[in-house]
Structure 1
Amino acid sequence: MSLFIEDNPWIFVIMTVIFGGGAAFLTGRGLAMKWRPVWMALLAMVPLTAAMRFLHFALFNADLLSAHYFLSDFIVLVAGSLLGYRLTLARKMVQQYPWLYESAGPLSWRTKA
């Protein structure tokens, strides 16, 4: 039993990383656009992880109630969600308050001197 990947690594990459990670990224982006707190992005990943586990179970006969794989899927989805959240929030802070903040990279901002 490997850490993240079940029987077929391509199933994990396509279903969890690409499809689930894309949905998680868009969820984080949407929450940041509405100025929601970051804990809501984390909380939203619980039902998305359950849905991803169900798709693994229904389509590929994987374990439905495996805490190990649920946690590994959750970690990947939280990473995608936080990435989308932080990218969007950093961009919004610089665009909405240009007299106050400047970009300090894609994930952060700083106060103008």
Structure 2
Amino acid sequence: MSWLSDDGMRVFIVLTVIIGGGAAFLAGRGLARSWTPFSRVFFYMALLAGAIRFFHYALFNGALLSPYYYLVTYAVLLAAASLGYRSMRTTQMVTQYRWLYQRTGPFTWRPRQG
């Protein structure tokens, strides 16, 4: 799986998945909490992916301007941010509009019956 990162799997998991993914998850929650449209997640994760790629370059001598590794990082961060966004939006909908919606899972809700 060295095709995921140019500086090793451990570095990829720690820096991109754990640190970057955690930041992306929290950013997604923050965007949802302020009722920002989901489309903004794409822009902010593009910026965060650039920052994570810079950390790969500065700390571990990874490739800075590699479109492939940037897109891999972007995809991981976008997935984490989407999970954070959807979980917060679900919480918002079932708490602020509890007479209209009920939770059906960690990322879904449905209209209340009768």
Question: What's the TM-score, normalizing by structure 2?
Answer: 0.95
Aligned counterparts, 1:62-81, within 5 A = 62-81=62-81
2:21 aligned residue: 21
What does residue 41 of structure 1 align with?
A: 41
Whole-angstrom CA distance in 1 between matches of 2:11 and 2:47:
20
- Once the 2 structures are TM-superposed, how far is the Cα of residue 6 of structure 1 from its aligned partner? 2.5
Q: Which 5+ residue runs of structure 2 have no aligned equivalent? A: none
- The answer on whether the counterparts of 2:53 and 2:64 sit within 8 Å (CA) in structure 1 is yes
3-state SS, counterpart of residue 102 of structure 2 = strand
Counterpart amino acid of residue 31 in structure 1: L
Q: CA deviation at 1:2?
A: 4.1
Aligned length: 113
Which stretches of structure 1, 4 residues or longer, exceed 6 Å deviation after superposition? none
Contact 2:103 2:109 in 1 (8 A): yes
State whether residues 28 and 84 of structure 1, in contact with CA within 8 Å, keep that contact through their aligned partners in structure 2.
yes
Percent identity, aligned pairs only? 48
Task: For 2:93, give the aligned amino acid.
Answer: M
- Paired letter, 1:107: F
Residues 42, 81 of structure 1: 8 Å contact kept = no
For residues 90 and 15 of structure 2, what CA distance do their matches in structure 1 show?
A: 28
Q: 1:4 aligned to 2:4?
A: yes
Asked if the contact 2:102/2:112 (under 8 Å) is kept, the reply is yes
